[in-house]
Structure 1
């Protein structure tokens, strides 16, 4: 679940921050020497956000999605303009609280599946389920900060 008050306001629209995008790909196997030049500059806003006006950011809280690599404190990039589909990771309101879960569309109605077996599956009332957006990316920090 996430704290709705940790919403990062996209309306502020800070200027793009360009960073180098290197031509060389990084293999996950044996090491390879890096190239000495950048292919182009990379604007993460351009790369990660398709619908700027309908995109917002949240911080994840808890461990219910850890089996897909989404951890407490990770940054979620959510697009409200996308129609939720089967197997999407979504932000929903359930019993008056927000949660992030995998959406499963079943013959019996929607199911919100945590990605950690320690948490129960949620079977919300289809008439009252509110989906606020589809998680299109999440940013996981591999080095913990104090």
Structure 2
């Protein structure tokens, strides 16, 4: 016989935010003591460290799937974070906007995909190249796109 479980509603608060639960989700049986709410969840407070320097960018393409970034995901990008070796960056290369992992060694720079179907792109001195910001978070939907 199935037992009906009442879950706290995830309805919006007057501030327009969803409810945040105080407990973590375990891959086992939930504890009945974990049915408490921790208040409103503000994704800006959770994901944005420097609001004036942060922007959101929708991703198109599959070159970064190995990093958990898929087409139609939304990246949280912080322009105040210094890009360093292995950072996932939003960059402009010869006028084209791209999301790749930054590779820097011995004065050489390359943009590395996280998908073996794509090749790294070495950035030479002859090319226009600018890092717009460092990706700090990704918002990824678990629903299939239609």
Q: State the match for 1:134 in structure 2.
A: 134
TM-score, normalization by structure 1: 0.81
Distance in 1, Cα, partners of 2:135 & 2:29: 32
- Equivalent residue in structure 2 for 1:31, among 29, 32, 35: 29
Say if 1:88 and 1:17 are closer, same or farther in 2 by CA, change over 3 A: farther
Query: How many positions carry a matched residue from both structures?
Result: 130
Per the TM alignment, residue 19 of structure 1 is displaced from its structure 2 partner at its CA by 2.1
Per the TM alignment, residue 133 of structure 1 is displaced from its structure 2 partner at its CA by 0.5
Q: State the match for 1:3 in structure 2.
A: none
SS of structure 2 residue aligned to 1:58:
strand
SS of structure 2 residue aligned to 1:57:
strand
TM-score, normalization by structure 2: 0.81
Per the TM alignment, residue 99 of structure 1 is displaced from its structure 2 partner at its CA by 0.5
Structure number with higher relative contact order (C-alpha < 8 Å, ≥ 6 residues apart): 1
Per the TM alignment, residue 32 of structure 1 is displaced from its structure 2 partner at its CA by 1.6
Per the TM alignment, residue 130 of structure 1 is displaced from its structure 2 partner at its CA by 0.5
Per the TM alignment, residue 69 of structure 1 is displaced from its structure 2 partner at its CA by 1.3
Q: Which of structures 1 and 2 has the bigger CA Rg? A: 2
Distance in 2, Cα, partners of 1:51 & 1:63: 28
Distance in 2, Cα, partners of 1:126 & 1:39: 52
Distance in 1, Cα, partners of 2:87 & 2:110: 11
Question: Deviation digits for residues 17-44 of structure 1, max 9, x if unmatched?
Answer: 42221111111x3232452220232211
Q: List alignment gaps of at least 5 residues for structure 1.
A: 1-15
Moved more, 17-26 or 110-119: 17-26
Q: State the match for 1:75 in structure 2.
A: 74
| Deviation beyond 3 Å, 4+ runs, structure 1 | none
